[in-house]
Amino acid sequence: MSSDGRYAPSPTGALHLGNLRTAMIAWLFARSAGARFLMRIDDLDPQRSRREWEQRQLGDLNAIGVDWDGPVVRQSERRARHIEAIERLKADGCVYRCWCTRTEIREAASAAHGPLPEGAYPGTCRRLSASERFECQMRGRPPALRLDAGGEQVEFEDRLHGTVSGWVDDFVLQRGDGTPAYNLAVVVDDLDQGIGEVVRGEDLLDSTARQVLLSRLLGLPSPGYAHVPLVLGADGARLAKRHGAITLAGMPAERAREWIADSLGGISLDPADFDPDALPRMPTTFGGL
């Protein structure tokens, strides 16, 4: 498979230093391999996505030296492909309807349920009888669609983490309002764009087993993965807006580039000199500029 890479921000606000750092690393991975780098906007959520934030994000990425090949792709414009994948899974008997509320899901996920990790959905609606499903339908609440994962353990290779394995719960493929879920959309879109290696933040490592399983069920090849260490605030939590003026609105783009390079141990941000193996393996704490 190719080494083509991508970055896929959600247009719900300005990109902070942690986001920009991850985008730069993903860009370096692709460019250093002589591969394409693509831009995809994760605007699946119509309630939170804003076109003005999209334009701001793209401008900030350009300002720090991240460029991309071809037009920007918006996930919201690819719904037909996402639904096509869901219909295929339905035809294979891998999908069931779920009427659980958020509260019910939290309560069910807090109970012990075998090998699945804490917080996993235990398949409540998969076990409903025909009469129980009818009762749920009569309440008028539109159901979400979940993948029947069968509690499978999935193993994959990550360039920075080595061999990783995880149990997969029955995760959502489509929300009750008809919006395709992230895990479904990202698998379909990465395949269609020819992505060979997904470089993204370590916070998404836990979702990768779901995506690998979904690729397999759809008969699609999985890309390679590299989950990079996060940037943390002084409180030890993942960097967020609450940690201060950490977007390009609060600093020159060149200063942001310098900080990114320093946070990576001073490695070169020139693709010709970039060595992925030199990346630090531990999170970076942002202590201010």
Positions marked active-site: 241
Q: How far apart are CA 184 and CA 210, in angstroms?
A: 9
Identify the helix (H) or strand (E) that includes residue 166: strand 162-167
The tokens for 46 are: 């119509």
SS in 3 state form for 217-259?
HCCCCCCEEEEECCEECCCCCECCHHHCCCECCCCCHHHHHHH
> Backbone phi, then psi, for 259, in 5-degree steps?
-65, -40
Beta-carbon neighbour count of residue 90 at 10 Å?
13
Closest to 157 (Cα-Cα) out of 1, 19, 31, 36: 1
8 A C-beta contact, residue 86 and residue 80 = no
